[in-house]
Each structure stands twice: as C-alpha cells, then as structure tokens.
Amino acid sequence: MTEKPKIYVTRRVPSPGIELLETECKLTFWDSDDAIPREELLKNITGGYDALFCMLTDIIDKEVLEAAGSTLKVVATMSVGYEHIDLDECRRRDIVVANTPNVSTDSVAELTVSLLLLTSRRLLEGIQAVKSGEWGPWKPMWLCGTEMTNKTIGIYGLGRIGYGVARRLKPFGGKKIIYNDVVKVSYADDIGAEYVSFETLLEEADCICICCNLTPQTKHKFNAAAFKKMKQTAILVNSGRGGVIQHDDLYDALVNKDITAAGLDVTEPEPLPSNHKLVSLNNCIILPHMGSNTWESRNSMSLTTAKNILSVFHKEKVFGEVSNK
Ligand code: DGY
C-alpha cells in the first residue's frame, strides 16, 4: 500500500478544506488560531512533507523551503495575496505555488464599499458621539461628510475586487468611474469605467479605492507627491495591501488636510500598533484586515486551498496556480 501524502497546515482553519484533505492525506497542524512562530515552522516543516498549507502571515522563503527539503511539491496559501512566498525559489525547486483567487472577491468588495461609506459619512465619529454623550441638539454643520452622488469614483487596480467595488458603487449615481491599472481591461466597459493615467486618477477622483496587489510597482505608490495631487476633499480607501501607501506621508496628508479622510483595512505593518500616530486621527478609520472575514469566504478559501493541493497530487490543472505566472 502506498503511503498517504503528508501535509503540514500552519493554523487551525475552517473545516471544509480539512475534511476534503483528510480523505486521502495525512495532516499535521500547528494547532492554534495564532500564527506559527518562525522557529517552530522551520523545525516542524522538516518532517518530509509533500505539501504546505499556509497563511499570508507565514514567510515562505529559501530557508523554509530548504528545511522542508525535496519532498515538498506544493505550497498552497489560504489567501489571494502571495507576496509572502518566494516564487522564484519555488520555481527553482519545481514546487507549485497556488492561491485562492475569486472566492473572497464579494466579501472584500462589500467590505471596501462599507469602509468607504463609513469613512466618507463619518459614521464612527457619530457612533462615538452617541456613546460618549457628546450628541446634543441637532446642529446644521455637525459631522457632515461627503456623498458619492455626482462624484468621480476612482479605482486603483481594476482586477476582480476592484471591479466588484466599482460595480457595487455604480448605483450610487456617481458622475463617472475612472480607474488606473497596469493595463486597460475590456470588462471595464461593462460598468462604463474609463481608463486614466495615475496622475489623472489622483487629480480627478473624489474617492479612490485601492484594490491592487503589492508589487515593486505599487509599493508606496501613494506617497507625499501623490497626496499633493489629490483633491483636498478626497477620501482614500485601501483594501489591497498596506504597503501601497507610505504611512508617514499619509499621516502628514491627513493632518495637513491635503486629503479629507482615509479608511484602511490593510496597513504597514500588520498589526498596526495601537499607539501608531494614524490611530489617533479622527479622519483615519482603521480596520484589522477584515476584507475576507465572512464564513462564506473563509470556508471557500479553505476548500480552494485543499483542492489546489489535491490537484497537484492528482497531476491535474491547479485552479490557483501562481508559480506559472
Ligand atoms: C487575501 O486573501 O490575500 C486577503 O488579504 C486575506 O484576507
């Protein structure tokens, strides 16, 4: 009898993927809701595993791959982002790398729109005012925000999530939707989104939703120079990756009123320390990276990660393969 393939899972994860894998593989877990410490990963991965089921918090670099040794055939991350994995090193070792595209699109798009409205309508300040007793008689100019109606909606990165955000915002009756990405995309026509240069996006958008991956090209793209070009009334929302924004520059821009407000679901670093200067600002709403936090999304992410692993074992096409890009 041939031995079952061995999989190392770096966290407790939703059951759908685990139940599927258990039908034909032997699983070992880091049995915790918290990230595996690096030294534990380096130690535990040496057990001759065929697959690594990992999270975006696990840095999978040469050292980890070296420790895993030549049995490792696939690194499957339960995330869309895969910037934590050294793709070149995996390719050199013939290790397939796969992510979970598409299955969290709706969840992240819904969160992005929620965060935009939360920020533009100053809802958190309103909730705090009720709780603290600051809410007094009605005042004509208290806690006034910005509407989306008749505004220019900007999207930076019109991939699946950016498209999902734009599609959800379209019924708000904005003047137009503009986007910038590395290339024009044909599906932008479905929602009447117009491709513009990065400069035009900054200058014309009343709100900008950042929905892109972190790459060398997008790293700190939103910096002091960019904020100076944006409208002073603009709202900036980031549900892509924290590193797309230069956070010290964002702080200055918010304090100096170069832009009106920011809503961040992703930060640099994560977690952002509670004493970070951005946390102290009323015009900066920060969430703890909750884009894909729905049961629908997390169950699908777990299942997709499992299917990616099995596809490698079965020598089938791998749905989320990124090592071939
Ligand atoms: C992803 O899948 O990359 C998300 O950021 C996790 O929520």
Distance 292 CA to ligand 1 centre (A): 6
Of 56, 57, 293, the one to substitute when testing ligand 1's pocket (max ligand atoms within 8 A of C-beta) is 56
Cα end-to-end span (Å), the chain: 36
What is residue 1's predicted lDDT score, i.e. its pLDDT? Answer: 54
Give the atom of ligand 1 at the shortest distance from the alpha carbon of 241.
5
| The model's pTM | 0.95
| Predicted pLDDT of residue 80 | 96
Give the single-character DSSP code of 325: -
Select from 121, 318, 150, 129 the least CA-distant residue to 237. 121
For the chain, which residues make up each domain, given as ranges?
6-103+295-313, 105-286
Q: Among residues 84, 220, 247, 289, which one is catalytic? A: 289
Q: What is the pLDDT of residue 2?
A: 75
Ligand 1 atom, smallest distance to 79 CA: 2
* Closest approach atom of ligand 1 to CA 292: 7
Q: Which residues line ligand 1 (CB under 6 A)?
A: 56, 79-81, 104, 291-292
Tens digits of per-residue pLDDT, 111-159?
Answer: 999 999 999 999 999 999 999 999 999 999 999 999 999 999 999 999 9
Which residue owns the Cα nearest ligand 1 atom 7?
Answer: 292
Q: Which of 55, 108, 294 to mutate to test the pocket of ligand 1 (most atoms within 8 A of CB)?
A: 108
Where the chain has pLDDT below 70, the residues are 1
Count of residues in the chain = 325
The answer to whether 314 is a known catalytic residue is no
Q: What is the DSSP string of 255-316?
A: HTTSSSEEEESS-SSSSPPTT-GGGG-TTEEE--S-TT-SHHHHHHHHHHHHHHHHHHHTT-
* 6-103+295-313 and 105-286: identical CATH topology: yes
Name the class of domain 6-103+295-313: alpha beta
**What is the distance in A from the centroid of ligand 1 to the CA of 137?**
43
84, 17, 75, 67: which is closest to 312 by C-alpha?
Answer: 75
Going from the Cα of 85 to the center of ligand 1, the distance in angstroms, rounded, reads 14
Which uninterrupted H or E stretch holds 87? helix 87-92
- On whether the CB atoms of residues 199 and 226 are closer than 8 A, the answer is no
Q: Quick one: pLDDT at residue 324?
A: 86
Ligand 1 center–CA 77 separation, angstroms? 10
The topology under which CATH files domain 105-286 is Rossmann fold (3.40.50)
Two tokens, residue 229 = 């070009």
- 23-54 pLDDT, tens digit per residue, is 999 999 999 999 999 999 999 999 999 999 99
Q: Which atom of ligand 1 is the closest one to the Cα of 100? A: 2
Decide: 246 and 222 in contact? Cβ < 8 Å: yes
**By CB neighbour count within 10 A (0-12 exposed, 13-18 middle, 19+ buried), where does 276 fall?**
middle
How many whole angstroms from 138 Cα to the centroid of ligand 1? Answer: 41
Instruction: Pull the structure tokens for residue 131.
Output: 């709780």
- The pair of structure tokens assigned to 308 is 């990616």
Pairing verdict, β 176-180 and 235-238? unpaired
Q: What would the DSSP string read from start to end of 119-172?
A: HHTTHHHHHHHHHHT---S--TTTT-----TTPEEEEE--SHHHHHHHHHHGGG
Other beta carbons within 10 Å of 176:
15
